[in-house]
């Protein structure tokens, strides 16, 4: 059964996003990931998030 994972307000924080995905054991084959907006702005690495 696929999990539905929704994440918003990343704001350029790619390291924290990757840590969160690792913590929840995200699997691109078994999980469905929705990124809900605010990918860039304020954070240290907006380009890597995009």
Confidence of residue 44 (pLDDT cuts 50, 70, 90): confident
**Per-residue pLDDT for 19 more than 90?**
yes
* pLDDT value at residue 1: 77
pLDDT of residue 43 exceeding 90, the answer is no
Rounded to the nearest integer, the mean pLDDT of the chain is 92
Between CA 11 and CA 43 the distance in angstroms is 5
Q: What is the model's pLDDT at position 50?
A: 86
* 3-7 and 31-35 beta bridge pairing: parallel
Domain boundaries, the chain: 3-49
Confidence of residue 25 (pLDDT cuts 50, 70, 90): very high
């Amino acid at each position: 059964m696929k999990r539905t994972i929704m994440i918003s307000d990343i704001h350029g924080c790619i390291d924290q996003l990757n840590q969160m995905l690792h913590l929840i054991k995200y699997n691109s084959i078994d999980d469905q990931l929705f990124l809900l907006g605010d990918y860039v702005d304020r954070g240290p690495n907006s380009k890597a998030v995009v």
